[in-house]
Chain A
Amino acid sequence: MPDKEDPPAPRPRRVAHPLARFLIRRLLLAVLMAWGITLVTFVLTNLVPGDPVAANLGQRALGDPAIVAQWRAEHGLDKPLWQQYLIHLQGLVQGDLGTSQQSHRPVAQDLAEYVPATLELAGAAILVSLVLGVAFGVVAALRRDRLPDHALRVLSLVGISVPTFWLALVAFYVFFYRLQLTPGSGRVDAALGSAPPVTGLQTVDALLAGRWDIFSSAAGHLVTPALVLALYTIGLLTRFTRSAVLEVLGQDYVRAARAKGLPGRTILFRYVLRSALVPIITVAGLAFGSLLSGTVLVEAIFAWPGIGQYAYKSATTLDLPAVMGVGLVVGVVYLVINLIVDVLYGVIDPRVRLQ
């Protein structure tokens, strides 16, 4: 007797099409968001109560209406706002982020110089947070309602409650100033010189050049700021991993895997973590955002020459073009990170990959 079930329609095993469509949609969305970000920074720049003319021209020039008018015309300030925005957008496309009032250099040039250091710091921090946060979260979930769970709960709550800028200062004071365990400020011992820049990441460049002395110095300089920066995200990821793992542990397929007599390790890594990874990478994407935020508060204290310190200096001197440039670049970096998270969904979950 034939079965009444309909056999699945024959289709190739791996369909590239749905994934490509998914990615294109996300990409378009990202472009739209990027455009939104430029709108936000532009509107904010024009919100400034202070007259940009006053900020850029000397007192004497301000007294002469002809000079003021000429300056306004030169900078397109006499045109309607929407035209100004189009000019601004045109500049952005050509990589013109304006000129820093502080360094008197193009903001884009400043940022290009500082971005690699921040990426190295934030990259190290997200790595540490993922490893420790996921490990702690898994332990807490598996030892649910027992001592490790309670201890990790308090620890992660403390982690998300510590003011990062204060922790940076305390760590600097204790480990460098008092105990002299860690190297002080900067990225590397100046005496060692530096490896030829390839990626802009000191540790990676040093490895590429085979300079172990520079690598260990750079890594040593990286440890404290990265850990300070990571504490918040470790707390965040611990809490989140715990609840994600608990949720998966209650799923039928985990019970089915246990009924198959698979060893606990296999179940944890293959069945539980694989599913929990989807919510975890979502939060990891958000966590990266808070890491980028944190760099503004941490880099200044460790004299880490990244965009965080640049943003700090720009903010304290109210150097608006520089602040907007940082906002724009960080917004775009964050967007790219979220795009990567979207791609990872497809890699992890076949239901996204194959419709």
Chain B
Amino acid sequence: MTLEISGLKVSIGGKEILRGVDLGLAAGRVHGLAGESGSGKTMTGLAVLGLLPHGARASGTVRLGERDLLALPAKELNRVRGGEVAMVFQDPATSLHPMLTIGRQLTEHMRHHLRLGRTEAKERAVELLGKVRIPGPAQAYGRFPHQFSGGMRQRIAIAIALACSPKVLIADEPTTALDVTVQAGVLRLLRGLCDELGLAVLLVTHDLGVMSAVADEVSVMKDGLVVESGPRGRVLREPAHAYTRSLLGSLPGAGTAEPGGPGDPGGPGAGPAPEGER
């Protein structure tokens, strides 16, 4: 296991949001985390990197190799953030700074974490933009986020996340804010990068269609607890927990559809109407 979450509890103002979450992420595997709004999926992702909102408290352990991220001093945690564990957020329209160029946002953490020079960082940034299939990467480098479409922006956000060659990528609803037509492209990109770079990916989503398209393992959350976990095929085909069954039942044409393989974009976007998590 590259990243192991165990007994993770989070409370905000005395209210328990997570009540003991256990999850394991392995290199080269996509772990899907499903559940409806308010079940704590997003909080789980944020807690790993200590990005919880003002006033939240976390306990339990998040193991990355020998270290427990929850117990790490701020300075060392900052080295893990972006360097070893990276994150992609739901809405690329808000997760990129509107007043800074793409290039700036791509290179600043490389220069900080990897101590690259200006030109080296720029070279790598352009290469990354090409890798996430931004047309004309060299020109894109000097542009601002508002000059790109939503799908492009999410690709850029993925490029930013991958810039320092992290081992773990947490993707929080990476396709929810996108048009259905561009979701498939972004998911395919994520899957491909996971296979190619040996990333351990935590894919947080409420969309079981997305899940069936790319995840290797699936965990289902409800009320701050993981209620079911296992290989995608088993969880989606023979759900053991009643809640998973009801989630699947809410999918149009559920139960009969055979989930597609990892290389097959399947039918993402067929899930319940996207509803903003936050």
Chain B interface residue bracket vs A: 35 or more
Q: Please tell me if A211 contacts chain B, counting CB pairs below 8 Å.
A: no
Cβ contact within 8 Å between B152 and A5: yes
CB distance from A279 to the nearest CB of B (A): 13
Chain B residues within an 8 Å CB radius of A25? none
* Proximity bits, A250-266, B CB within 8 Å = 1, else 0: 01110111111111001
Give 30 pairs: A residue, B residue, CB < 8 Å, sorted on A: A3-B133, A3-B182, A3-B185, A7-B152, A8-B149, A10-B136, A13-B142, A252-B91, A252-B94, A253-B95, A255-B46, A255-B89, A256-B95, A256-B96, A256-B160, A257-B97, A258-B51, A259-B81, A260-B81, A260-B82, A260-B86, A260-B109, A260-B160, A261-B112, A262-B78, A262-B108, A263-B112, A266-B108, A274-B99, A354-B146
* Proximity bits, B194-233, A CB within 8 Å = 1, else 0: 0000000000000000000000000000000000000000
Residue in contact with B79 in the complex, picked from A10, A259, A261, CB distance below 8 Å: A261
Cβ contact within 8 Å between A5 and B182: yes
CB distance from B91 to the nearest CB of A (A): 6
CB distance from B154 to the nearest CB of A (A): 10
Chain A residues within an 8 Å CB radius of B94? 251-253
In Å, the complex CA distance between A260 and B100 comes to: 15
Interface residues of B (CB under 8 A from A): 46, 49, 51, 54, 78-83, 86-87, 89-91, 94-100, 108-109, 112-113, 133, 135-136, 139, 142-144, 146-149, 151-152, 157, 160, 181-182, 185
Interface residues of A (CB under 8 A from B): 3-8, 10-11, 13, 144, 251-253, 255-263, 266, 270-271, 274-275, 348-351, 354
Closest to B98 in A: A351
Cβ contact within 8 Å between B144 and A4: no
Cβ contact within 8 Å between B80 and A354: no
CB distance from B95 to the nearest CB of A (A): 4
CB distance from B253 to the nearest CB of A (A): 23
In Å, the complex CA distance between A5 and B182 comes to: 6
Cβ contact within 8 Å between A5 and B151: yes
Cβ contact within 8 Å between A259 and B185: no
Cβ contact within 8 Å between A271 and B97: yes
Cβ contact within 8 Å between A252 and B148: no
Cβ contact within 8 Å between B139 and A6: no
Cβ contact within 8 Å between A354 and B152: no
Q: A262-B109, A349-B98 are in contact. Are A5 and B185 (CB under 8 A)?
A: yes
Closest to A7 in B: B135
Cβ contact within 8 Å between B147 and A354: yes
In Å, the complex CA distance between A260 and B54 comes to: 19
